Structures are given as structure tokens and as C-alpha cells.
Amino acid sequence: MIKLCVFDFDSTLMDGETITILSSAMGKDKEVGEITARAMAGELDFYESLVRRVRLIEGLELSRALEITSNLPFIAGAKEIIAYLKSKNIKTVVFSGGFHIATDSAQKKLGFDLNFANELHHKNGILTGNVGGEMMFGDSKGKMLLRLKDFMGLSSDEVACVGDGANDLSMFKEAGTGIAFCANKILKEAATHIIDIKDLNEIKKII
């Protein structure tokens, strides 16, 4: 029986990539999007790609970033699947290689239990182009899930993960159920289940 379900955020619960949406305010969305695509396909080291992308939004006003991230679009079924899992007493957690300014806002709207992400550094109300936090590396999600499993006393068979890109691979290795959601080929190959319909309600057929 599943007791914990971990979701990726960008392009899994949220419809798009937070860093690309933020960078559009700076006119850098095309450049950022290209780096993101390479990272999610496993062609570029995640840490390197994260640092390069965040540098491109240096100078963005924090107030504008907060406004953008409080109005992000969600994937169809996002609120419903969290409610469904919680009704089954399954803890819901988000691991994001993105940013707390997005996941913290989403937690209030969607109702998941906990989230781990990164912090965009800012000074005098302006983003500095620097980033730090809990999900900086390609294996961060797997390491954090291992800690959560130990803390909660769970086996891998009691854990499900939902994601779409290469930086989700490490957490899939720690879960008995790995759901590749509208995912890249590299993650589909590591998954126990594949969903190609852009509706998170499809997870109800699995869990």
C-alpha cells in the first residue's frame, strides 16, 4: 500500500517551467528554454543548467517574480489528485529543482503536505542571479527521498513518485512505483507506469 507520493513540480503539477516563465519577463525565455530542454533530457548536468538559467534572470524585481509565481497555471487534475491521495491517507510531497517562491504558493492552493525546492537570492528587492537550496543537483531528489523514507519508516514499495525529466531519475530509484507523466524518454525507461495523457487524474488508475 502506498503511504507517500512525491511529485515533481515543473511540467508535472505546474503546466510549464517556472524558470522559463520568469525569464520571459526578461526576454530570455528562448535561451532558458533551450537549456531546460537539454537538462530534462539528461544532456546537461542539472546543477550546471540551474546555475546558468538563474543567471539569466539577474535583475528581475523580486516583487515581479512573486507576482508571476503566485499565478502559475496548473496541470489538469492537480488539485483533484492531491485531494484524492490525501483521502487515502497518503502523504503528498513536492520535490522541485525550481524555487520555493513557486512551490510555497502552490502548496497553499493545491494542499500538498510538504515541499523541498531552491531559493532565488535577492538583494534590495532585486534577484542577484544566484541560487541555493535543497534541490540543486541531479541526485538531490533521490537523497531527500531516502531521508524521508528513513524518517517515516517506509519501504520503497510504500512510495510512489511522479515526474517528467532526468532529474527525477534518482527519486524513481528509491520508489516502488515510478510514474512517468508526459515524460522524456530517459525517465520513461526507468518508470513502472507511463501516463501520456495530460491529466493527473490518470494517476487514480494506478494508486
Write out the catalytic residue numbers: 8, 10
d(CA 112, CA 5): 10
Instruction: Report, in angstroms and rounded to the nearest whole number, the Rg of the chain calculated over CA atoms.
Output: 16
CB atoms within 10 A of CB 83: 12
Within 8 A by CB and 6+ apart from 48, the residues are none
Q: Is 192 helix (H, G, I), strand (E, B) or coil?
A: coil
Please write down the long-range contacts of 34-38, taking CB distance under 8 Å and 24 or more positions apart: none
Backbone angles phi, psi at 196, to 5 degrees: -110, 5
Residue that the C-alpha cell 539577474 belongs to: 58
Task: Name the H helices within 61-184.
Answer: 62-69, 78-87, 100-110, 140-152, 169-172
Torsion of CA 131, 135, 136, 137, to 10 degrees: -170
Give residue 125's identity as a one-letter amino acid code: G
